[in-house]
Amino acid sequence: MKYSGILVGSALSLLAWSCGNNTSEGGQKGTAAGPDILAANLDTTVNPAQDFFDYANGGWIKSNPIPDEQKSWGIAYLVQEDLYNRLKTINEQALKQADNAIAKKIAAFWSSGMDTVALKQQGVEQLQPEMQLIDNIKTKEDVLNVIAQLNRKGFSPLFNGYVAQDDMNSEKMAFNLHQGGLGLPNRDYYFNTDERTRKIREAYPAHIETMLGLAGIADGKNKSAAIFKLETSLAKVSRKLEDLRDPYKNYNKYAVSGLQKLTADIDWKKWLTEAGINNLDTVIVGQPEFFTAINNALKTESIDTWKDYLKWQVIRSTAPFLNPQLEDARFDFYGKTLSGVKKQKPRWKRVLDEEEDAMGEALGQLFVKEYFNEKAKKRYNDMVEDIREALKDRIKKLTWMSEPTKAKALDKLAKMRKKVGYPDKWKDFSAMNIKAQSYVRNVIAAREWWYNYEIAKLGKPVDREEWSMTPQTYNAYYNPSNNEIVLPAGIFTVPGKRDEELDDALVYGYAAASTIGHEITHGFDDQGAQYDAEGNLKNWWTKDDEKNFKARTEVMINQFNKYIAVDDLHVNGKATVGENIADLGGVLLGWDAFVKKEQYKKGEKIAGLNPGQRFFLGYSLGWLYNTRKESLAQQILTDVHSPAKYRVNGPFSDVDAFYEVFKVKPGDGMYIADSLRVRIW
């Protein structure tokens, strides 16, 4: 699913490689290749003023049930189907290109993942190096040393350590320590009392027991109970989803020597050395109380429990790559019970998913040569500037913001970097030890390479040209530390259509509003607005402006808190407020840019729809999803994005132009009184 968003850290339809052939403003070709996609998706039995999402997408949803192997089904999956087939071809061709270094690694990874005969014959013995490390643990100090060594292999048991730009100094790379160590998605699964979450929690220890048994570990019932108890103690001191969104509260810088104040019994200097991290002066701790709790748990939990816990973390992380029995058992819980998925994807798609994580940019190098050209890159570069200009005009006209803050906002907007399509400089994967070996060892080799790649950034200048997504990704992000938007080629794709077949109204809704405008607005949402033009966490607002901004975001929080996503679960307005601000900003900016286009001025209809209607339907196409109840419930607890339905109905209810285009009036389901609508950017 497309979850374009802010990065604190899309498949390119293969029918769209010539998408740089931009149509002239007066010469749209909306019906040139088959039925108009917007008209075809409509459910005309629904009043658009009552429920726009159901009106725009209901026809498609009624005719396209969710496949058994998916937790949801919609636009990203349609695009992804094209992508899978093209990437499969690239892998199969790589098997014949022994003289190409990139192709050779791709072929080795693909072959190991697709060798079902070997996979059926292998088991946990493939994890012997990791299991031996754990078996050798004798003291509490050994527990931490082994965690450090497992980190170097790409595992993250107990807590997360990662490298990122320092929020307070974007010119420096910093090492961060963050809460983690849970086998369930987040802390709420350990404590919420609703029936759905309770059933998942009750099924979890039995799942651990099953997995331990398949791994040949005896006394699984008692061990799973002890593991669950340990995880519950970690969950108790873990912060909630909405609390993790405050960058100031989750930024706590310590000198390495000062970490002893948090954890008197942990020798962090030694741990960092074991983790391959040298000459480090400071560490940024996200949630100090979590690490104090770890210190206490190391004193109270038995060595045997720690060993069992670490084995469980390793097995859970690698089960999909070991053998069918472990993979199926893992899917039974994480796929069926947790997400409501009825069956797994075909193996070849699962291997491609893992290959994307392992070396997706290597695939991307082969991918863009065929499927995304310079003309396409120019079209969307130009569209970014249309949206930038629209926000510039809006900032200048704001009545609630003072001139000094406006000046800084305009400076930040002007300095915002854009990355479109694919990187100009590719990562070098030559040192990644992918070869003719078992699938799980290739996966671990890739994870180990990524760990070393990230750790090597410490003490070096920040590489502001790096991408954190691959060109073939159906997603996008805003990175506050770089003050940049990153728009991979795949995010602009409409499945089954060439770009030149799409009219401006559809494209300005689908791409300019739901993606480009969304990402630019992330620079000015409740999180992004806390970073300055250089990417530093620094307050650039006057006190009155900050107060006005927060009051306006509260209106949005209250609006989304009222939406019921599934059963009696409401959308978490506080956790999702950043994405909701970006959605609303995207719609407004996309509309402002579109009304300057010739198509809007002419007002001619396509497939019975006028330009204004097509714009809002184009945006809604970007959120064409049907989602299982189990997955919706999981999303509410774990995701900072609202469900797809409310990413359409929510922002549209705050957009005056929507009321005019669709004649929304008091009493309609989409109606919010003018005085109660969200007014931010």
Mean pLDDT for each consecutive 10-residue tract of the chain (681 residues)? 45 24 31 78 98 98 95 93 89 88 93 97 95 97 97 96 96 97 96 95 98 96 98 98 95 95 94 96 97 96 98 97 97 95 96 96 86 80 96 98 98 97 93 97 98 96 95 95 95 83 94 97 96 97 97 98 94 96 98 97 97 98 96 94 98 98 98 97 95
To the question of pTM greater than 0.85 for the whole model, the response is yes
Q: Which one-letter amino acid corresponds to residue 79?
A: V
Is the CB of residue 401 less than 8 Å from the CB of residue 412? no
* Tokens, residue 408: 């800084």
Using alpha carbons, select from 504, 505, 507, 485 the residue that is nearest to residue 494.
507
Using alpha carbons, select from 286, 305, 291, 311 the residue that is nearest to residue 162.
286
Residues listed for the chain: 681
Q: Which one-letter amino acid corresponds to residue 475?
A: N
pLDDT of residue 32: 43
pLDDT of residue 98: 76
Tell me the C-alpha to C-alpha distance, in Å, between residue 531 and each of 162, 254, 417, 584, 647: 21, 21, 14, 20, 25
Separation of first and last alpha carbons in the chain: 26
* Tokens, residue 638: 């774990």
Q: Which helix (H) or strand (E) holds 487?
A: strand 484-488
Is the CB of residue 123 less than 8 Å from the CB of residue 438? no
Q: Can you tell me whether residue 566 is helix, strand or coil?
A: strand
Tell me the C-alpha to C-alpha distance, in Å, between residue 534 and each of 373, 416, 419, 513: 31, 9, 16, 25
Q: How far apart are CA 613 and CA 36, in angstroms?
A: 13
Residue 232, classified by CB atoms within 10 Å of its CB into exposed (0-12), middle (13-18) or buried (19+), is: middle
Using alpha carbons, select from 450, 440, 447, 446 the residue that is nearest to residue 113.
440
What is the radius of gyration, based on Cα positions, of the chain? 25
Bridge partner list, 162 = 176
Residue at token pair 């058992």: 329
Q: Which helix (H) or strand (E) holds 365?
A: helix 347-371
Q: How far apart are CA 582 and CA 570, in angstroms?
A: 20
Residue 27, classified by CB atoms within 10 Å of its CB into exposed (0-12), middle (13-18) or buried (19+), is: exposed
3-state secondary structure 624-638: CEEECHHHHHHHHHH
Q: Which one-letter amino acid corresponds to residue 99?
A: D
3-state secondary structure 117-134: HHHHHCCHHHHHHHHHHH
pLDDT of residue 636: 94
Q: How many CB atoms within 10 Å of residue 153?
A: 15
Residue at token pair 């104040």: 261
* Tokens, residue 329: 């058992």
Max Cα-Cα span within the chain? 77
Q: How many CB atoms within 10 Å of residue 65?
A: 9
Q: Can you tell me whether residue 621 is helix, strand or coil?
A: helix
- All structural domains of the chain: 39-68+372-427+466-676 (3.40.390.10), 124-322 (1.10.1380.10)
Q: Can you tell me whether residue 541 is helix, strand or coil?
A: coil
pLDDT of residue 33: 57
Backbone angles phi, psi at 448, to 5 degrees: -65, -40
pLDDT of residue 660: 98
Angle (deg, nearest 10), helices 140-152 and 288-300:
130
pLDDT of residue 235: 98
